[in-house]
């Protein structure tokens, strides 16, 4: 690979390892283990494995390594480790870097399972967690202490689509020798250069845009070679969160079209946000690139597009939202995002059901809010589908 390749070239070619057959499409090495030519070679490989030397698929596999190297090339990271799901990636990144007695600061608007790790699991192992409003830099500054090891946030929060100032939070972290870890699912590797903004570790659920066609679970953690090899890998290779070679292959194929899909979905999302804002059945349209978005200016500095997800606040609360969901014909009711199919979800009764009404209020998740992940369908068809479903309400 050449360092000068542009992202779209890297998405197609970076990390490719060809076998002796010279296959065009990446091979699926569906093997749990590897054969050594001699006992001496086995011994040497357990002491130190070279570039193309593998031991066991929980530690690494050629197909998985292609996916990791392609992701690292795209993100501009020194190294990457792929995991069985996005949550294995978040869990691995946090637990591998922390020990009892440490303190972390996290934005309070987190994906449900990330919140469970920060609120319930980490404290059980003696890690203290302070939650802040991620958009308020004073709160980050005030929460950081000498024993703070890392700051954790989602670049764009789910489902309210708040945008956090990555460069400013990175500065606060680094002034205190703490790491900034960013779950970058909503911003995507295409729309935001998160490491260049100052993050130390970037995490993706590959289940979302990277697969992008709703097939497989997967995740990846990206960072410096030291962090990945010395901190993360020892934890993950012994705790078993490895990505399956088949899923890695699906993700590699997904990466080839990632830019095309994100650009197309992002363009349709922007159009829908603009056309729907002000509709009589909507109290609010939330999308980072709408001028009405509270962090619009920051979003435009930090990202090249507003993302592929918008949230709509439907008049009439839960009933209005349910009528809207049930009235949609093209858009499907499902809780994935980043998919080729447009998907809609009602967070208060599904993904955020576990929270108390007070907790949901604090996060700005009302009964009328629905999250719309924009797919690859024709934008005009989607607009008409949404408009007819709003008429039902």
Ligand X SMILES: *Cc1c(COP(=O)(O)O)cnc(C)c1O
Q: Which residues bind ligand X (CB under 6 A)?
A: 85-87, 90, 111, 113-114, 154, 158, 183, 185, 205, 207-208, 217, 219
Nearer to ligand X, 205 or 268 (CB): 205
- The H or E element containing residue 39 is helix 39-47
Query: CA 151 to CA 376: how far, in whole Å?
Result: 34
Sheet with 282-286, edge to edge strand ranges: 282-286, 309-314, 369-373, 343-345, 332-333
Report the SS3 class of residue 356: coil
Across the strands, what pairs with 106? 131, 152
Residue closer to ligand X by CB (options 179, 217) is 217
Least separation, in Å, of the C-beta of 99 and ligand X?
A: 23
Task: Return all residues near 107 (Cβ < 8 A) that are at least 6 apart.
Answer: 131, 132, 133, 134, 152, 153, 154, 157, 164
Q: 53-62: which pairs have CB atoms within 8 A and are 24 or more residues apart?
A: 56/32, 57/31, 57/32, 57/33, 57/242, 57/245, 58/237, 58/240, 58/242, 59/233, 59/237, 59/242, 60/237, 61/29, 61/31, 61/242, 61/245, 61/248, 62/17, 62/27, 62/29, 62/245
What's the min distance (Å) between Cβ of 159 and ligand X? 10
* Residue burial 311-346, b: 16+ Cβ < 10 Å; e: rest: bbbbbeeeebbbbbbebbebbbeeebbbbbbbbbbb
What is the spatial distance between Cα 168 and Cα 177, in angstroms, rounded to a whole number? 14
Instruction: Give the burial class of 247: count Cβ atoms within 10 A of its Cβ; 0-12 exposed, 13-18 middle, 19 or more buried.
Output: buried
- Minimum separation from the CB atom of position 262 to ligand X (A): 15
Q: Cβ closer to ligand X: 72 or 221?
A: 221
Least distance to ligand X, CB of residue 140, Å: 19
CB of 175 to ligand X, least distance (A): 26
Min dist. Cβ of residue 391 to ligand X (A): 31
Nearer to ligand X, 111 or 287 (CB): 111
8 Å CB contact between 220 and 82: yes
Cβ proximity to ligand X, 87 vs 276, nearer residue = 87
Residue nearer to ligand X on the CB measure, 90 or 305: 90
Q: DSSP letter string over 124-187?
A: HTT-EEEEE-TT-HHHHHHH--TTEEEEEEESB-TTT--B--HHHHHHHHHHTT-EEEEE-TTT
Structure tokens at 125: 């192992």
Among residues 114 and 199, whose Cβ is nearest to ligand X? 114
In whole angstroms, the minimum distance from the beta carbon of 206 to ligand X comes to 7
Comparing CB distances to ligand X, the nearer of 7 and 214 is 214
Q: Which residue is nearest to ligand X (CB)?
A: 86
Least gap, CB of 330 to ligand X (angstroms): 23
Q: How far is the CB of 110 from ligand X (least distance, A)?
A: 8
Nearer CB in complex with ligand X: 347/393 = 347
Q: How far is the CB of 152 from ligand X (least distance, A)?
A: 11
CB closer to ligand X, 63 vs 345:
345
């Amino acid at each position: 690979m050449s360092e000068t390749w542009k992202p779209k070239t890297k998405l197609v070619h970076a990390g490719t390892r060809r076998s002796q057959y010279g296959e065009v499409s990446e091979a699926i090495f569906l093997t749990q283990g590897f054969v050594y030519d001699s006992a001496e070679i086995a011994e040497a490989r357990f002491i130190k494995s070279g570039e193309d030397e593998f031991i066991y698929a929980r530690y690494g596999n050629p197909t998985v390594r292609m996916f990791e190297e392609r992701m690292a090339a795209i993100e501009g990271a020194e190294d990457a480790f792929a995991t069985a799901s996005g949550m294995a990636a978040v869990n691995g990144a946090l637990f591998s870097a922390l020990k009892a007695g440490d303190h972390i600061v996290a934005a309070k608007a987190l994906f449900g399972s990330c919140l469970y790790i920060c609120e319930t699991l980490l404290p059980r192992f003696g890690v203290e967690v302070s939650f802040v409003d991620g958009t308020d830099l004073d709160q980050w500054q005030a929460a950081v202490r000498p024993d703070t090891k890392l700051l954790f946030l989602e670049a764009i929060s789910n489902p309210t689509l708040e945008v956090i100032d990555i460069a400013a939070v990175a500065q606060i972290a680094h002034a205190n020798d703490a790491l900034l870890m960013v779950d970058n699912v909503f911003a995507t590797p295409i729309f935001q250069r998160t490491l260049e903004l100052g993050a130390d570790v970037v995490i993706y659920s590959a289940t979302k845009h990277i697969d992008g066609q709703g097939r497989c679970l997967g995740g990846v953690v990206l960072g410096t070679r030291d962090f990945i090899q010395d901190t993360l890998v020892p934890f993950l290779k012994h705790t078993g969160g490895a990505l399956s070679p088949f899923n890695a292959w699906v993700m590699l194929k997904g990466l080839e079209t990632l830019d095309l899909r994100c650009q197309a979905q992002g363009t349709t999302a922007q159009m829908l946000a603009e056309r729907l804002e002000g509709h009589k059945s909507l109290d609010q349209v939330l999308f980072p690139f709408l001028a009405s978005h509270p962090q619009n200016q920051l979003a435009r500095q930090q990202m090249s597009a507003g993302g592929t997800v918008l949230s709509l606040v439907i008049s009439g609360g839960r009933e209005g939202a349910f009528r809207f969901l049930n009235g949609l014909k093209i858009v499907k009711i499902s809780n994935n995002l980043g998919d080729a199919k447009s998907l809609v979800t009602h967070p208060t009764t599904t993904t955020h059901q576990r929270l108390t009404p007070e907790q949901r209020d604090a996060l700005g998740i009302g009964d009328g809010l629905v999250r719309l992940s924009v797919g690859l369908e024709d934008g005009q068809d989607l607009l008409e589908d949404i408009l007819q479903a709003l008429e039902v309400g």
